[in-house]
Amino acid sequence: MYRKTIKDYALDGTIYVLLILMGLMTLLPFVNVLSKSFSEEWAIVSGRVGVFPVGFQLDTMAFVVTNSQFLRSLWISVLISLIGTLASLLITSLTAYPLSKRELPGMGVLIVLFIFTMMFNGGIIPNYLLIRELGLINHLGSLVLPALISVFNMLVIKSYFESLPSSLEESAKIEGARNLTILFRIILPLSGPVLATIGLFYAVYYWNDYFHPMLYINSTSLKPLQLYLQDIVMNADTSSALDKSADDLMNVPAEGVRAATVIASTIPILLVYPFLQKYFIKGVLIGSVKG
């Protein structure tokens, strides 16, 4: 048996202290924003708010979460994340399933074509023109359609499908099941972990995506939360006051309001993580240790 010496304890201690410090370093800014969102505005402006709120109050938060634009943006984001995730999962598994069959003719070419799109794409302007010609500018479809399938995610699902025993399918075939029945009745029910993982990937992507809405959405009523958030936060940057008129300066949202908006829009997706955490680790491992 190896016994720990004083030196080992000292080393362990230092490592723990360092890691805790680093953890706190990433946590502190978040806590600071959190306490700002519950503090009095005057305390924030004079730089008194650190870890704990100064002059605790809930009015700012209440103001933010009852703001109609915030609620509408939240609704749009939830909607896109839900519909987008479900649709993406469906399309991705529908693509992955045939590609997991080694007997598929022309499979090599197909895989190469898919991987090609991972590395090269048309770029922003052609994409914009495409979306415009499809009539999807200012339409929620423009946020879901372009991201329906991610080749990387599709490959992860494909390799999971490949790891399932083929005898399952054979026996189903003997019972007279056709391909779609096999996929939906047998394969997908067995793919819970990988679907949860990829689903979370997609959900986080849809939730966090601000680039596509920035390009394609002009209408206020269709802006998802990230876009709303960006507008609120960027607005406060008065360092470029030169190009701002006094009317805009007078309407800069209070620091507390911005902090509260950031918190209120982070919480929903944070809540999803703990519930999917167990699948998450399992699912990511699946891709790596197959045999």
Partner 1 sequence: MKKAFKLISVIAAVALLVSVMAACSGSNGKNGNTGNANSAGSGKEAPKPVLKRLNVWANEDYNTYPVAGLLEEATGYKVQHDMLPQDKWVEKLNLIMSSGEEYDLVTSYSDMALYSDYAQKGALVDLTPLIEEFGPNIKTAIKPESIEALKVNGKLYAIPTTVTYKINSSILIRTDWLEKLGLQMPTTTEELKNVLQQFKEKDPGGNGDRNVPMTIKGDQAMIDNLVGAFGMPNAWNDVDGKLVPRVMDPAYKDYVAYVADLYKQGLIDREFVANKDATAKEKFSSGAAGAIVVHWADIPAIYDALTKNQPDAKFAYVPALKGPAGEFGFGANAGFDRLTFIPKSAEHPEDAIKWINASLEPETFKNLAIGVEGTHHKVVDGAYEPIQPIFTDERNLANNFMAGTDETNYPQYWQARVRKNPVMFEAFDYLNNKLPEDAKKENALGLAPYMKEYSKSNQQLHTMLNDYTVKLIAGVETIEGLPGFQQKFLEAGGEASSNEVNEWYATVQK
Interacting residues with partner 1 (CB under 8 A): 40-48, 68-69, 76, 79, 83, 86-87, 90, 94, 128-129, 132, 137-141, 144, 178, 180, 184, 214-215, 218-222, 227, 230-232, 234-235, 238-239, 241, 243, 245-247, 249-251, 253-255
The dihedral through the CA atoms of 187, 193, 196, 197 has a sign that is negative
Q: How far is the CB of 224 from partner 1 (least distance, A)?
A: 11
Nearer to partner 1, 79 or 276 (CB): 79
**d(Cα 222, Cα 141) in Å, to the nearest integer?**
11
Question: Among candidates 108, 284, 259, which has minimal Cα distance to 195?
Answer: 284
Distance of CA 278 to the CA centre of its chain: 17
Nearer to partner 1, 98 or 253 (CB): 253
Could you give the dihedral angle defined by the CA atoms of residues 153, 158, 159 and 162, in that order, rounded to the nearest 10 degrees?
A: 160
Q: How far is the CB of 266 from partner 1 (least distance, A)?
A: 19
Nearer to partner 1, 113 or 249 (CB): 249
Q: How far is the CB of 46 from partner 1 (least distance, A)?
A: 4
Q: How far is the CB of 11 from partner 1 (least distance, A)?
A: 37
- 188 neighbors 100 (Cβ within 8 angstroms): no
Nearer to partner 1, 65 or 215 (CB): 215
- 205 neighbors 147 (Cβ within 8 angstroms): yes
- 217 neighbors 138 (Cβ within 8 angstroms): yes
Nearer to partner 1, 259 or 286 (CB): 259
Q: How far is the CB of 174 from partner 1 (least distance, A)?
A: 20
